[in-house]
Structure 1
Amino acid sequence: MPSATSAIQSRAGTKGVPRADREAQIVRAACEVFGTEGYAGTSVAVVAARAGISKPLVYQYFGSKEGLFSACLHHGGQLLADEMERIAAGDVVGLERALRTLDAMFRLLEPQPWLWRLFFDRSAPREGAIAGEIAGYSARITMLASEGVGELLHLQGDDDPLDVDAMTRAWMSIFDALVTWWLDHPEVTPTQMTERCVRLFTAVMSADAPELSA
């Protein structure tokens, strides 16, 4: 996949565009550049060129590179969390809820895979508004994961809060690993990846519990 920088084409900006529309245009372009090149590897000039506007206009709207990245996190986090909450608000529970959530992520991310990587960029600032934005969406998603895990364990007769906490951490790591693996294999369609997840989870959860010696 070519880098966002190499894909930039110079486009003249247009006048008379409502501010909200222009901001959304800039954020969409910035999400792709940040998510592809990383925070440290991205310049405001590159984002401006990608969006087809001037660099001063980016600063006028967002104040700084940090402000622009924060806006991207808000945009991406809202999309991801809203989709997870949509599944959570439905009637499915347990393994079906987990698989439907994964499927929804694959379909949401297929045209915009860079959104997921925004939240795992090690070059991004670890304090200030950006860290707060990441922490806020992480807490929101963790709450949804804990709710889903709690439902799943309850169906198995396990209501131990420490079990729920431990399994929530494990589930979030598994979720990220599966999404990241899929992003690293763009030839795999969302449908194919969901089918793979069904096979994997069915195989694991159908296994008999072993007798472990002390």
Structure 2
Amino acid sequence: MTTLSSKAGTKGMPRAARERQVLAAATEEFGRHGYEATTVAAIATRVGVTKPLVHQYFGSKQDLYLACLNPVGDRLLGAIRAAMAEHDTGAPATPLRVLHALFTALDGQREAWFVLYDPSLPPDSDAAHRAAYYRDAIDDLAATGTADLLHAAGTSDPLDADALKHAWRGLCTALVRWWINHPDQSPTAMTQRCARLLGAARTIFATGDYDA
């Protein structure tokens, strides 16, 4: 029986190139359908290879998920950290910098956001723990950013900061979901749209009547 070389792919394709294809397809499948509903067979079919080949390259389904998650988590964390570290005069406000960094990091692989924020991961699994690590790190950055914004606005209530942090996560998730359904929108176009929406929201809330 002929066995595959450790460096060879299938149908003449180098193994490294085939692995990239599998990871791209798996990231989209996990992002669209969630860990629980995604099968290795479906990923293999998308790429045009066999299920045993995917297992040979990546191991178990959970190993394949982790191979998708780690680069996504590292890329998002790096992008957000870099955006928050910018202090150049004339740079956009921090929320818009972070949004632009997020959209840029996800461009071409928008479903990857939902690989990170997947509620169907097996509880107490390596996959769940690793995803939680990235989510917690992003939440820590969001907590720092929201606390700074509230401090600049003259409030230091920690519950305000916590509520805003959760609202920010929900906003990012909703925006990415909308973006997936509008593939013609570039990262720059999305950032510009967010700038208009945030500006409109400030106006609406500033002029609203509230009797406490």
Q: TM-score range by the shorter chain?
A: 0.7 to 0.9
Letter of the aligned partner of 1:56 in structure 2? P
Cα separation, 1, equivalents of 2:123 and 2:105: 27
1:212 matched residue in structure 2: 210
Cα separation, 2, equivalents of 1:172 and 1:44: 30
1:42 matched residue in structure 2: 38
1:65 matched residue in structure 2: 61
Mapping for residues 92-171 of structure 1, pairs under 5 Å: 96-171=93-168
2:4 matched residue in structure 1: none
Cα separation, 1, equivalents of 2:202 and 2:182: 25
Compare 133-142 and 94-103 and name the one that shifted more: 94-103
Cα separation, 2, equivalents of 1:172 and 1:141: 9
Is the 1:12–1:53 contact (alpha carbons within 8 Å) kept by the matching residues of 2? no
Question: What TM-score do the two structures reach when normalised by structure 1?
Answer: 0.78
Partner residue of 2:73 out of 74, 77, 80: 77
Assess, with a 3 A threshold, how the Cα gap between structure 1 residues 12 and 41 changes in structure 2: closer, same or farther. farther
Is the 1:13–1:52 contact (alpha carbons within 8 Å) kept by the matching residues of 2? no
Compare 201-210 and 21-30 and name the one that shifted more: 21-30
Question: What TM-score do the two structures reach when normalised by structure 2?
Answer: 0.79
Cα separation, 2, equivalents of 1:131 and 1:92: 37
Assess, with a 3 A threshold, how the Cα gap between structure 1 residues 159 and 48 changes in structure 2: closer, same or farther. same
Q: Please, which runs of 5 or more residues in structure 2 have no aligned partner?
A: 1-9
| 2:168 corresponds to 1:194 | no
| 2:27 corresponds to 1:28 | no
Residues paired across the two proteins, number: 201
Q: Superposition RMSD on alpha carbons, in Å? A: 2.8
> Following TM superposition, where does structure 1 have runs of at least 4 consecutive aligned residues deviating by more than 4 angstroms?
21-25, 49-54, 92-95
- TM-aligned CA deviation for residue 65 of structure 1: 0.7
Q: Secondary structure at the match of 1:39?
A: helix
CA deviation profile, 1:13-35 (whole Å, cap 9, x unmatched): 546x56xx765554333212322
Letter of the aligned partner of 2:107 in structure 1? E
1:176 matched residue in structure 2: 173
- TM-aligned CA deviation for residue 107 of structure 1: 2.4
Q: Secondary structure at the match of 1:186?
A: coil
Cα separation, 2, equivalents of 1:37 and 1:208: 40
